[in-house]
Chain A
């Protein structure tokens, strides 16, 4: 989303660099005199020159396919039976099996969401987004760049009493 209204909104929000430039680290590096920022910028340029594809997982909230909304609703309770599972009519056992399947699918989905929550809290998703954005691979250098970029945000993130 790079509409003009978005840009204006970004300028008002105080996140000027973020809103105007989709690659904030590069933008920051370009404008700032800070050697650390310049280092990140140089590293990111290097990453971009070696295009590395990101493996997308259809279930992962961050790396799922671009045409799947990242915020897709997760409903544990209204999960429908998969089309391949025959709808039982007479046999009680089948009914039991079906509810078991639904239960297992719901459980798996719950565990998936729980893991996604933990990965978000623990910044693993943020690092993945960083890799995706900068076309870097997981490495000591890329993690250092990520940490540098995230340092200020991390230090200013309020923790409640």
Chain B
């Protein structure tokens, strides 16, 4: 039996190695997407079976006899021992957002190889480890948050830095996702109508849940889903009706203003009316669509049209400027390692874990599933013809300003594309044009529509699939937008409450209005800057967001390493120290490039200088100020994280050198009552 198991794992390793070799070495011909799927599944299987088991047994010493907070503090509300599969699903639903879909699509400009390798290696040795370790440490500390753990284990600065990093991420994240949605919907009456309809649908669901069938969320979500599908068909009618199409054809600036108004309303309205039903609806669509996409890829096993590596690894890419190192590693965050996950792993999930060993499956396993979503998004982007991918994803300032100039520039790079091809593609998906749709969402929707229409219905239904995909992404993004604005508002109220107590009262309406307005104004600033940016906005905002997210992961890994050292297991600190060192190298060098790089397409200050030395324009002063503000934000985050890294390192050195006794803030051991039940 032992030999059979050994042979099985050897076979898995050999298959994974063969798949990776095919991905890495095959040049000049299109490979099947199934190689990526095989490589991913084998890597996850090996990582879970061996590496996570090593972490669980040797590093963390998971203890099945230790009662978890869900058991000790069970209250039927937040703390509740729950079936491990249920917690797994719950955790996955919380960590799977638009990030793993958009990041890999943008990073596909480097080719499929760098993104695939980073997603697999980053997840197995970085992201999964971070989620697993932070989840377990939170479980051993009564479900405390990352900020609380940072404050207790590292020092007061840790908590402050975590707070500022989270606020920074939230603000920039909200601006980025709002920009993505604007770029996906501008001049698209079909898309605008469908997304606009999700607001009354969510309101209807809210009323249904509260007054008609209290608490029947699955039922209401199914109903909402049917209505959304009807809205997609309605959008087709709108796009074909000249009168209605004119009403729903909106410019980027108009859409941006509408989204700001929406963000403010969603933050100030009661949760049950808009936020909660939209959250349910979005989750419902998300889980279903991810499952369908996985099935579609396995059934169709499309060929990857994108080469393994493109010429843009040198940093001259039109989707976003910057070399493979470090920019590929901050562009793909959620699929490989994301600091945001540490917030979820120290949020609701640790309060549901019934037995300590389950943290392995929930923390490590759910991140593997998330990483697989990233691989699927990469596949969807790489099934497009490279020329079409670049024409959709490049900002006008990067490829010439007009569609004719764009096709000439892109074809000149060796990725042939014609205006007619783009026109035909736009007609297939029911759009007026597909040029300069930066942000990744339209490219992902195109890839998804191609995969879906190849397996079901052909090009006749491609438009429906495309708008289904756009609706799916926009629903995701609007959920992040309204929930994020609200979370940021709560954090701001909490912080300002220390200065003036009444503003900390979350139910006091003047406080709600003022803090909501402040939060919306903050992300709206960056959004407006992105809308007016001739380079497409994503070029500057996505790297900034990636830097923020990876800096939060740096904070999380500092906390994790410190706890491991303080547990007296310094010999195993490399499990978190290695990804931490990599992230420090990536984020610090990316920040350095974004601030000081001499190339104006990369460096904020160089761009400001270029603008200052160029011809005078109407909004020149504002654009120069924006660049300098971006540089200051980036620099400030780096300084704060440097402080926490240094503070953590001092703790490690003092413990390792024996100047301080290893001790942590764990809750005292209590034997689980389930152990007695098991032995009985």
Contact = CB atoms under 8 A, between A and B. Distances in A.
Q: Secondary structure at chain B's binding surface: helix, strand, loop or mixed?
A: helix
B143 interface: yes
Contact of B677 (A69, A153, A155): A69
A30 interface: no
Contacts of A159: 94, 97, 279, 479-480, 483-484
Nearest to A13: B142
A18 B340 contact: no
Given A140-B211, A160-B94, A160-B341, A13 B143 contact: yes
A146 B215 contact: yes
A12 interface: yes
Interface in B69-114: 69, 71-90, 93-99
A160 B86 contact: no
B275 A155 contact: yes
Interface stretch (A40-48, A79-87, A115-123): A115-123
Contact of B71 (A1, A34, A125, A153): A1
Given A18-B79, A117-B90, A13 B74 contact: no
Interface string B308-332: 0000000000000000000000000
B358 to A, nearest CB: 8
B271 A161 contact: no
B95 A160 contact: yes
B333 interface: yes
B490 interface: yes
A9 B667 contact: yes
B162 interface: no
A57 B268 CA distance: 39
B90 A121 contact: yes
Given A34-B507, A72-B83, A161-B98, A9 B69 contact: yes
A161 B275 contact: no
A71 B80 CA distance: 9
Nearest to B211: A140
B344 A18 contact: no
Interface residues of A, number: 60
A92 interface: no
Contact of A147 (B89, B144, B271): B271
A124 B283 CA distance: 14
Interface centre among B72, B84, B145, B354 (most CB of A within 10 A): B72
Contact of A132 (B76, B209, B667): B76
A18 B210 CA distance: 25
B401 interface: no
Nearest to A7: B73
Nearest to A147: B272
B144 A6 contact: no
Nearest to A127: B215
B221 A122 contact: yes
A15 B142 contact: yes
Contacts of A49: none
B348 A116 contact: no
Contacts of B79: 15, 18
B73 A19 contact: yes
B334 interface: yes
Contact of A113 (B85, B276, B506): B85
A118 B218 contact: yes
B510 interface: no
Nearest to B491: A156
A143 B215 CA distance: 6
B210 A147 contact: yes
Interface in A1-45: 1, 3, 5-6, 9-10, 12-15, 18-19, 22, 24, 34, 36
Given A10-B73, A122-B283, A151-B270, A158 B83 contact: no
Interface string A124-161: 11110110110000111011101101011111111111
B280 A122 contact: yes
Interface in B468-524: 479-480, 483-484, 486-487, 490, 506-507
A52 interface: no
Contacts of B217: 122-124
A119 B218 contact: yes
B97 A70 contact: no
B486 A155 contact: yes
A18 B89 contact: no
14 contacts: A3-B670, A6-B72, A10-B142, A13-B143, A14-B148, A15-B142, A18-B77, A117-B88, A125-B86, A140-B211, A143-B210, A151-B272, A158-B94, A160-B344
Given A9-B668, A71-B81, 17 more contacts: A3-B72, A5-B72, A12-B667, A14-B145, A14-B148, A19-B75, A22-B76, A24-B77, A69-B674, A138-B215, A144-B210, A154-B271, A156-B487, A158-B94, A159-B97, A160-B344, A161-B333
